[in-house]
A and B are shown apart, each in its own frame.
Chain A
Amino acid sequence: EVQLQQSGPELQRPGASVKLSCKASGYPFTEYYMYWVKQRPKQGLELIGRIDPEDGSTDYVEKFKNKATLTADTSSNTAYMQLSSLTSEDTATYFCARRVAAFAYWGQGALVTVSS
Protein backbone atom coordinates (compact mmCIF):
# COMPACT_ATOMS: atom_id res chain seq x y z
CA GLU A 1 0.00 0.00 0.00
CA VAL A 2 1.37 3.37 -1.01
CA GLN A 3 1.67 5.75 1.93
CA LEU A 4 3.06 9.25 2.27
CA GLN A 5 3.58 10.15 5.93
CA GLN A 6 4.29 13.80 6.61
CA SER A 7 5.86 15.45 9.61
CA GLY A 8 3.78 17.26 12.19
CA PRO A 9 2.55 20.83 12.54
CA GLU A 10 5.05 23.63 12.95
CA LEU A 11 4.88 27.01 14.64
CA GLN A 12 7.61 29.32 13.47
CA ARG A 13 8.60 32.95 13.93
CA PRO A 14 8.76 35.34 10.98
CA GLY A 15 12.15 35.16 9.32
CA ALA A 16 12.80 31.59 10.40
CA SER A 17 13.12 28.50 8.22
CA VAL A 18 11.34 25.17 8.49
CA LYS A 19 12.00 21.76 6.99
CA LEU A 20 9.08 19.44 6.32
CA SER A 21 9.38 15.75 5.59
CA CYS A 22 7.37 13.22 3.61
CA LYS A 23 8.26 9.57 4.16
CA ALA A 24 7.19 7.30 1.34
CA SER A 25 6.45 3.59 1.59
CA GLY A 26 4.83 0.87 -0.47
CA TYR A 27 6.51 1.67 -3.77
CA PRO A 28 9.99 2.20 -5.28
CA PHE A 29 10.81 5.70 -4.07
CA THR A 30 13.20 6.58 -6.87
CA GLU A 31 10.77 5.74 -9.67
CA TYR A 32 8.32 8.61 -9.13
CA TYR A 33 8.60 12.35 -8.79
CA MET A 34 7.47 13.77 -5.46
CA TYR A 35 5.35 16.90 -5.71
CA TRP A 36 4.64 19.55 -3.09
CA VAL A 37 1.42 21.56 -2.92
CA LYS A 38 0.52 24.57 -0.79
CA GLN A 39 -2.92 25.41 0.56
CA ARG A 40 -3.44 28.61 2.51
CA PRO A 41 -6.31 28.64 5.03
CA LYS A 42 -9.66 28.43 3.24
CA GLN A 43 -7.88 28.88 -0.11
CA GLY A 44 -7.16 26.73 -3.14
CA LEU A 45 -4.29 24.47 -4.09
CA GLU A 46 -0.97 25.68 -5.53
CA LEU A 47 1.81 23.54 -6.91
CA ILE A 48 5.19 24.43 -5.42
CA GLY A 49 7.43 22.09 -7.35
CA ARG A 50 8.68 18.57 -7.71
CA ILE A 51 11.77 16.49 -7.19
CA ASP A 52 13.06 13.41 -8.96
CA PRO A 53 14.41 11.30 -6.07
CA GLU A 54 16.55 9.26 -8.43
CA ASP A 55 18.92 12.09 -9.25
CA GLY A 56 17.73 14.94 -7.03
CA SER A 57 16.78 17.17 -9.93
CA THR A 58 14.11 19.72 -9.12
CA ASP A 59 11.56 21.92 -10.83
CA TYR A 60 9.97 24.88 -9.07
CA VAL A 61 7.01 27.04 -9.91
CA GLU A 62 8.46 30.51 -10.45
CA LYS A 63 6.91 32.16 -7.38
CA PHE A 64 8.42 29.55 -5.07
CA LYS A 65 11.94 29.51 -6.49
CA ASN A 66 13.39 31.62 -3.69
CA LYS A 67 11.12 30.20 -1.03
CA ALA A 68 11.24 26.41 -1.22
CA THR A 69 14.11 23.95 -1.48
CA LEU A 70 13.29 20.34 -2.29
CA THR A 71 15.56 17.45 -1.42
CA ALA A 72 15.26 13.68 -1.14
CA ASP A 73 17.05 10.99 0.85
CA THR A 74 16.92 7.67 -0.94
CA SER A 75 18.35 5.81 2.05
CA SER A 76 15.25 6.63 4.09
CA ASN A 77 12.73 7.07 1.24
CA THR A 78 12.00 10.56 2.49
CA ALA A 79 11.40 13.78 0.60
CA TYR A 80 11.98 17.13 2.25
CA MET A 81 10.91 20.69 1.63
CA GLN A 82 12.64 23.59 3.34
CA LEU A 83 10.87 26.94 3.44
CA SER A 84 13.02 29.95 4.16
CA SER A 85 12.49 33.52 5.38
CA LEU A 86 9.03 32.71 6.61
CA THR A 87 6.30 35.35 6.57
CA SER A 88 2.60 35.26 7.35
CA GLU A 89 2.04 34.46 3.67
CA ASP A 90 3.67 31.08 4.30
CA THR A 91 1.05 30.08 6.86
CA ALA A 92 -0.53 27.14 5.09
CA THR A 93 -0.92 23.40 4.94
CA TYR A 94 1.68 21.75 2.76
CA PHE A 95 1.04 18.44 1.05
CA CYS A 96 3.37 16.02 -0.65
CA ALA A 97 1.84 14.00 -3.47
CA ARG A 98 2.76 11.34 -5.97
CA ARG A 99 1.48 10.97 -9.50
CA VAL A 100 0.46 7.85 -11.32
CA ALA A 101 -1.95 8.96 -14.02
CA ALA A 102 -2.88 11.77 -11.67
CA PHE A 103 -2.20 12.75 -8.05
CA ALA A 104 -3.57 9.55 -6.66
CA TYR A 105 -1.50 9.59 -3.49
CA TRP A 106 -1.25 12.44 -0.99
CA GLY A 107 0.30 12.92 2.39
CA GLN A 108 -1.96 14.01 5.21
CA GLY A 109 -0.61 17.54 5.10
CA ALA A 110 1.57 19.55 7.46
CA LEU A 111 0.30 22.84 8.87
CA VAL A 112 2.90 25.57 9.13
CA THR A 113 1.89 28.59 11.17
CA VAL A 114 4.06 31.68 11.06
CA SER A 115 3.44 34.01 13.96
CA SER A 116 5.39 36.21 16.32
Chain B
Amino acid sequence: DIVMTQSPTSMSISVGDRVTMNCKASQNVGSNVDWYQQKTGQSPKLLIYKASNRYTGVPDRFTGSGSGTDFTFTISNMQAEDLVVYYCMKSNSYPNTFGGGTKLELK
Protein backbone atom coordinates (compact mmCIF):
# COMPACT_ATOMS: atom_id res chain seq x y z
CA ASP B 1 0.00 0.00 0.00
CA ILE B 2 1.06 3.56 -0.63
CA VAL B 3 2.31 5.36 2.48
CA MET B 4 1.51 9.03 3.01
CA THR B 5 4.06 10.84 5.18
CA GLN B 6 2.91 14.15 6.57
CA SER B 7 5.20 16.81 8.00
CA PRO B 8 5.58 18.41 10.40
CA THR B 9 3.57 16.53 13.00
CA SER B 10 2.88 19.76 14.86
CA MET B 11 3.41 23.47 14.45
CA SER B 12 3.19 26.45 16.80
CA ILE B 13 1.34 29.20 15.03
CA SER B 14 0.13 32.74 15.65
CA VAL B 15 -3.19 34.06 14.41
CA GLY B 16 -2.60 35.82 11.10
CA ASP B 17 0.35 33.62 10.13
CA ARG B 18 0.73 31.81 6.83
CA VAL B 19 1.08 28.07 7.45
CA THR B 20 2.38 25.38 5.11
CA MET B 21 2.40 21.65 5.70
CA ASN B 22 3.53 18.82 3.48
CA CYS B 23 2.50 15.34 2.45
CA LYS B 24 4.76 12.93 0.62
CA ALA B 25 3.49 9.79 -1.10
CA SER B 26 5.67 6.68 -1.33
CA GLN B 27 4.63 6.29 -4.98
CA ASN B 28 3.29 8.54 -7.69
CA VAL B 29 -0.38 9.29 -6.97
CA GLY B 30 -0.89 11.90 -9.67
CA SER B 31 -3.05 14.67 -8.29
CA ASN B 32 -5.10 12.32 -6.13
CA VAL B 33 -4.61 13.78 -2.69
CA ASP B 34 -7.28 15.25 -0.46
CA TRP B 35 -6.91 17.37 2.67
CA TYR B 36 -9.17 17.17 5.70
CA GLN B 37 -9.60 19.26 8.82
CA GLN B 38 -10.61 17.64 12.08
CA LYS B 39 -11.71 19.55 15.13
CA THR B 40 -11.65 17.85 18.51
CA GLY B 41 -14.60 15.53 18.96
CA GLN B 42 -15.82 15.94 15.38
CA SER B 43 -15.62 13.95 12.19
CA PRO B 44 -13.12 15.05 9.55
CA LYS B 45 -14.20 17.74 7.13
CA LEU B 46 -13.13 17.80 3.49
CA LEU B 47 -11.28 20.98 2.53
CA ILE B 48 -9.33 20.19 -0.65
CA TYR B 49 -9.79 17.37 -3.17
CA LYS B 50 -7.58 16.30 -6.07
CA ALA B 51 -4.66 18.26 -4.69
CA SER B 52 -5.90 21.77 -5.41
CA ASN B 53 -9.69 21.91 -5.64
CA ARG B 54 -11.41 23.70 -2.82
CA TYR B 55 -14.58 21.90 -1.68
CA THR B 56 -17.91 23.72 -1.58
CA GLY B 57 -18.04 26.41 1.06
CA VAL B 58 -14.38 26.17 2.06
CA PRO B 59 -12.81 29.61 2.64
CA ASP B 60 -10.21 30.68 0.10
CA ARG B 61 -7.50 30.99 2.75
CA PHE B 62 -7.14 27.20 2.38
CA THR B 63 -5.18 26.09 -0.69
CA GLY B 64 -3.52 22.92 -1.89
CA SER B 65 -0.94 22.15 -4.53
CA GLY B 66 1.33 19.42 -5.79
CA SER B 67 1.38 16.31 -7.94
CA GLY B 68 3.19 13.04 -8.19
CA THR B 69 4.63 12.39 -4.74
CA ASP B 70 4.85 15.84 -3.12
CA PHE B 71 1.91 17.87 -1.93
CA THR B 72 1.48 21.08 0.03
CA PHE B 73 -1.41 22.51 2.01
CA THR B 74 -1.39 26.18 2.94
CA ILE B 75 -3.50 28.29 5.24
CA SER B 76 -3.04 31.99 4.69
CA ASN B 77 -4.05 34.42 7.43
CA MET B 78 -4.57 31.77 10.14
CA GLN B 79 -7.70 32.14 12.20
CA ALA B 80 -8.14 30.89 15.75
CA GLU B 81 -10.64 28.26 14.60
CA ASP B 82 -7.99 26.81 12.26
CA LEU B 83 -5.86 25.64 15.19
CA VAL B 84 -6.82 22.00 14.84
CA VAL B 85 -5.53 18.87 13.05
CA TYR B 86 -5.14 18.37 9.31
CA TYR B 87 -4.77 15.12 7.37
CA CYS B 88 -3.81 14.35 3.82
CA MET B 89 -5.20 11.25 2.12
CA LYS B 90 -4.41 9.34 -1.04
CA SER B 91 -7.65 9.09 -2.95
CA ASN B 92 -7.02 7.62 -6.38
CA SER B 93 -7.43 3.96 -5.63
CA TYR B 94 -8.38 1.61 -2.85
CA PRO B 95 -7.15 1.40 -0.18
CA ASN B 96 -7.17 5.07 0.65
CA THR B 97 -4.41 5.88 3.08
CA PHE B 98 -4.09 8.83 5.41
CA GLY B 99 -1.10 10.82 6.50
CA GLY B 100 -0.36 10.91 10.20
CA GLY B 101 -1.74 14.40 10.67
CA THR B 102 -0.41 17.86 11.43
CA LYS B 103 -1.59 19.55 14.60
CA LEU B 104 -1.59 23.34 14.70
CA GLU B 105 -1.15 24.90 18.12
CA LEU B 106 -1.06 28.44 19.37
CA LYS B 107 2.38 29.88 19.81
Q: Which residues of A are in contact with B by a Cβ distance under 8 Å?
A: 35, 44-47, 49-50, 59, 61, 95, 97, 99, 101-104, 106-109
Contacts and interface: CB of A to CB of B under 8 A. Distances in A.
Contacts of B95: 47, 49, 59, 61
Contacts of A59: 94-95
A102 B98 contact: no
Interface string B88-99: 010100111111
Contacts of B73: none
Interface in B79-107: 87, 89, 91, 94-101
A45 B91 contact: no
Given A45-B87, A47-B97, A47-B98, A104 B55 contact: yes
B24 interface: no
A106 B43 contact: yes
Contact of A107 (B43, B49, B89, B94): B43
Contact of A44 (B34, B53, B55, B100): B100
Contacts, number: 56
Interface residues on B, range: 20 to 34
Interface SS of A by simple majority: strand
Given A46-B98, A59-B94, A108 B43 contact: yes
Given A44-B87, A45-B87, A103 B94 contact: no
A59 B94 CA distance: 9
Contacts of A108: 42-43
Contacts of B96: 35, 47, 103
